[in-house]
Each structure stands twice: as structure tokens, then as C-alpha cells.
Amino acid sequence: MTAVERCDVCIVGAGIAGLNALFTTSQYLSPGERVILLDRRHRAGGMWVDTYDYVRLHQPHPFFTVGDIGWTLSAEPSHLATKQEVLAHFDHCLDVLRQRIAIDEYYGWTIQSDTEADGVVRVQCRSDDGRSMVVEAKRLIKAIASDVEPNDPLPVSSTSVHSMSPNYCDMRSGDIDASDTPVWVIGSGKTAMDTAYALITRHPGREVNLLAGSGTYFAHRDRLFPTGGRRWWGGVTFNAFVDEVTQLFDGTNEEDVARRWRERCGVWVTPSTGNFLIGLLSTAERDAIADGLNDIVMDHFVDAVDRDGRTELQLRSGAVREIDPDSWIVNCTGYLLKRSQPYEPYTSPSGRVLSLNARAATLHLTTYMGYFLPHLMFTDQLTEVPLYELDMMELRRKCNAAFPHTIMTLALHNLSLMTDVLPTKVFRDCGLDIARWYPVPRQLVGTALFLATHHRRRPHLQRTLDTVAQRFDVHCAPLGRQRTPIQPVTTPAAGRADRG
């Protein structure tokens, strides 16, 4: 038999996006109204439940939060929180929200479908032990976001190497920790940097190599988040960073913009830098990794094979690299925007269903979408404000170089629209705002500049987004100007030709 549960709001997803949606929901519900929170995992925390144990939050932890709920962790704001510290903070945030509204939590449940009729959204769900449930809600928020899953080890033909993934093998323990044979880290993003750093700092002198693909550069943490007195006069605020990038970017000049900002606010380990996903790295981390690496190979992994008594890496360029038997191949190719998802608009025509997903992104991070878009939903403006939505997965597949500049442009444009219709309190209560790293006078200068210029800058932002849409044939438009039909993104098969 299928159980039926009724509520005022159903939220699917208990990661940071879903918890921010829950926070915003708590601002609008009356006593006695009920929220049902569903998640396929067995606790709140989203991707942080599954991620590798040595991961560190790459931004200052106070701004990785839910609404304006402060951390209870006694640490300097610049502390890079561990996985367990992040999960403990999520638990604390849920405890705070349980005191504000009635929340029924269902973990181990996956949404199967949702339909809308007569002012009611029916959500069909299934538990991982086979039970069925229908949730009837007045509003539904699908905060599945990027739906990140752990990386599997790379498939290899060789029987002489050990292929693994950080999600299934802690670099600081077990067989890989006890071994002294070489390690090949596949990838050059944040996971690769975390993995190389963990290996190098734990066993200085061990051979660690980076198969870096096209390379990655990072935002310079020391410049975006200076410490001490430099917070008053030094560094580059993230708002200023975004403001200047979006003024320069016109939808056609991504290489020029990347070159300018890589030199001013970038830091990198690899000789070339074909990727930027707004990750952060410090000079100290960069130097420790660069000094500890044995070799950096700018190519992509295809396979590891045994041939004529030797073990070889086969690379996309056609090159072959001989490696030691018993080497370790660690899949650090990244997690975000890898799983194919069907397109779904960020709102249904009635405004009763809100979907936070990468195929219809409205802000640069789903965390911010989870906080701001429910405010539009509960004030009945979700279908009225002409937000642009961007198919981030398709754009990244077609032009990775334009991707970061476009999502910054998208965020600034849509925040400009929201500023016109949402109360100032909504922005004041947003603890996610990393501009708060700086003293209040610098924050006020940034706010005043945005308020004075965002109306006259909006046409440029719109032209840039329209140019990206036309140039790359990707969906990037307000809902009223959808590109039809929107084709599904096809991701590479789980073979060996697109690794690294």
C-alpha cells in the first residue's frame, strides 16, 4: 500500500541548497504549517555525506552556512573546515530550524515523479527498502541541485596497477598509505589538489605525479580573502572581482578575460590552465604541491596497459608513458556537472514547483538559488520576475572557457532583478555573502556601488547572455524565450577516452 502524507511545503534534497530553501521557507510559514524534507541519503548534508574524508572546505567557513545561522565552531574565520566539521554544522542548522517550524524528515527516499493539479502537487516517492509514498503539498521545492555522486575508480586494462578513487580510499591510511610506489593523480581541479597535498604532506619525498589534462587555475585565496590588517585595505573583494569580469566579458572574448584575471587574481600549479571553476587555492598550498610533485604531464588519461613486461599509460594525444608496476592511479577528475539530467525549468507555470538544477541555473551556485528563489516563490513573484536561466551543463560541454564568466554574468543580472522586488532584509540576512569577509565600511562601499550602477549595467549583462546563447546554441534566456526544443546533454560514456 502507498502511504499518503500531506504538508504545506515539500523540499526534496537536504544538502546545502535544500537546507537554505528550508531556512527561507521557515520565514513564511505560520505556526501549525508543516514541511516534509526528503533525501535519498540517510542523513542531511548532500554531497558532503559522500565526499572523501580528507576534503577541506576551500572558502572561509562562516559563509558556508544556512541562511544567517552562525557556526558554533571555535576557529579563526580563515579556517578551512573539515568534512566532519561541515556535517556537524549542517546538523546544528537543522536543530535551529526544527525550533522554528514543524519538519518531518524522510531519509533514504527518492522522488520518482511530481504532478500538479487543482492547487496540489503530488510527489511520488520510493524508499531504498522498496516502500512507496505520495506527498501532497501546496508547494514543492526540488533542491536536488547537481546531484553529485562519488567517483568510481578509472577502468584500466593493466593488472599491475592499483586504480582507485578518493571516495573509496583515504590517501592517509590503508594500503596506499603503507605503500611507497608512485602515485598518478588524474585531474587538476580541487579534488586533485586536495589529493596531491594529502600525499605530499604525509610522505614527503614519495613520488607523486599529476596527469593534469588541460590544467586548471584557481582564484587566489590570499588575494580574495586577505587576513589581518589587509582586510581593511588589501585584496580584491569577490564583488569587485565579479563586477570587473562582467564589465569586460561581452560573450565573445572569454580568452582575453581569462588571461587578464588569471594574472591578477589567479594561482595555478600546471604549466597551462584550460579550466577555471571558481575554486580557491592559496600560495602556500600551491607551493607545497608544486615542490612535492615529481612530474606534471599535460595530457588526458585513456588507459593503463601491460605490454612486453612493461606497464604504460596511454594518453589521449597518442603518447605513451612507461610507469612503475604497482603504481597507483587515483581518479580525481571532478564531480560537478558530470551527470546528465533532463531539462526542467526553474519554475512551473503556476509557481508552485521550484526546481534548483544545473540545466536551468539562475545564480552561480545552487546554494544561493536555494536561499533567494524561495523568497520569490513565497511572495508569488517566481513566475513574474524575468530571470535568465542557463543550461550550465551544456555550456560547459560546448565552451568551458566561457563558462565561469557567463555564470558570473547570469548571477549579477538576476540579483539585479531580485534587488528590485525583494525587501532589503532578504539580502541583509544572507549569511552566504562572502563580501562580509571585509570590514563593514568596505562592504558598504561595494553595496552602494552595486545599487548605483546595477540598473544601467543590466542591458550589457543581457546582451552578453544573449550573445552566449546564440554563439554556442545553448539555452540562456528568460522562461518566456525558451529555445525549443531543449535537447538533453549527452555525457561521455564511461570509457577511457575523456579522462583527466
From residue 370, give the alpha-carbon distance in Å to each of 12, 66, 280, 346, 347. 11, 9, 22, 11, 13
pLDDT in tens, the chain (500 residues): 789 999 999 999 999 999 999 999 999 999 889 999 999 999 999 999 999 999 999 999 999 999 999 999 999 999 999 999 999 999 999 999 999 999 999 999 999 999 999 999 999 999 999 999 999 999 999 998 776 788 899 999 999 999 999 988 889 999 999 999 999 999 999 999 999 999 999 999 999 999 999 999 999 999 999 999 999 999 998 888 899 999 999 999 999 999 998 988 999 999 999 888 778 999 999 999 999 999 999 999 999 999 999 999 999 999 999 999 999 999 999 776 566 778 999 999 999 999 999 999 999 999 999 999 999 999 999 999 999 999 999 999 999 999 999 999 999 999 999 999 999 999 999 999 999 999 999 999 999 999 999 999 999 999 999 999 999 999 999 987 755 444 444 444 333 333 44
492 belongs to a structural domain: no
Residue 139 belongs to domain spanning: 3-149+346-481
Q: Specify the pairing of strand 310-315 against strand 320-323.
A: antiparallel
191 plus 301 within the same structural domain: yes
CB-based contacts of 1, cutoff 8 Å, min separation 6: none
144 plus 172 within the same structural domain: no
276 belongs to a structural domain: yes
Question: Cα Rg for the chain, rounded, in angstroms?
Answer: 23
Is residue 339 within 8 A of residue 125, CB to CB? The reply is no
370 belongs to a structural domain: yes
Q: Which three cell numbers stand for residue 317?
A: 594525444
Distance CA 367, CA 134 (A): 27
Is residue 68 within 8 A of residue 429, CB to CB? The reply is yes
139 plus 257 within the same structural domain: no
121 plus 198 within the same structural domain: no
339 belongs to a structural domain: no
352 plus 467 within the same structural domain: yes
205 plus 66 within the same structural domain: no
275 plus 406 within the same structural domain: no
Q: Answer left, alpha or beta for residue 207, where phi above 0 means left and psi between -120 and 50 means alpha.
A: beta
Give the largest Cα separation in the chain, rounded.
73
- The CATH number for 216's domain is 3.50.50
305 plus 379 within the same structural domain: no
Alpha-helical runs (H) found in 379-423: 392-398, 403-421
154 belongs to a structural domain: no
257 plus 134 within the same structural domain: no
Distance CA 117, CA 112 (A): 17
Range list of β-strands (E), 308-460 = 310-315, 320-323, 328-331, 353-357, 388-390
Neighbouring-strand partners of residue 121: 116, 137
174 plus 323 within the same structural domain: yes
171 belongs to a structural domain: yes
CA dihedral 406, 11, 83, 60 (to 10 degrees): 50
Work out how many domains the chain is built from and give that number. Answer: 2
